[in-house]
Amino acid sequence: MIDRDGNTYRVASPMIIANARALLAAGRGLLAAEAEKDVTLDLASVREVDSSALSVLFGLQRAAAARGLALSVANPPASLLSLAGLYGVAGSPPLA
């Protein structure tokens, strides 16, 4: 679901409602053990998203902030950017 490479976490599954709880739990588990201050969530392999992907991102952002970590999102799919724009949340978390 999420593979770790240093302080980069690569999501390797669809970010849809069926996977949302598991993705959030996996991400929180990784963040709980993170020693770096800057963490990148790489979404290059994500091919399918729905609005639950935003919930997962917000949950991971809160978990990172609680540990004093900065979370950024790399390679978001166009469909996620579209959803973030639709809901007016394109800047939080930072989608680069």
Dihedral sign from CA coordinates of 84, 92, 96, 66: negative
pTM: 0.92
pLDDT at position 26: 97
pLDDT at position 94: 67
92: helix, coil or strand? coil
Task: For 55, list phi and psi in degrees, rounded to 5.
Answer: -60, -40
pLDDT at position 93: 67
How does pLDDT run across 47-95, given as a tens digit for each residue?
A: 999 999 999 999 999 999 999 999 999 999 999 999 999 988 877 766 7
Residue whose token pair is 């999501």: 11
What are the extents of the domains in the chain? Answer: 2-87
Indicate the CATH number for domain 2-87. Answer: 3.30.750.24
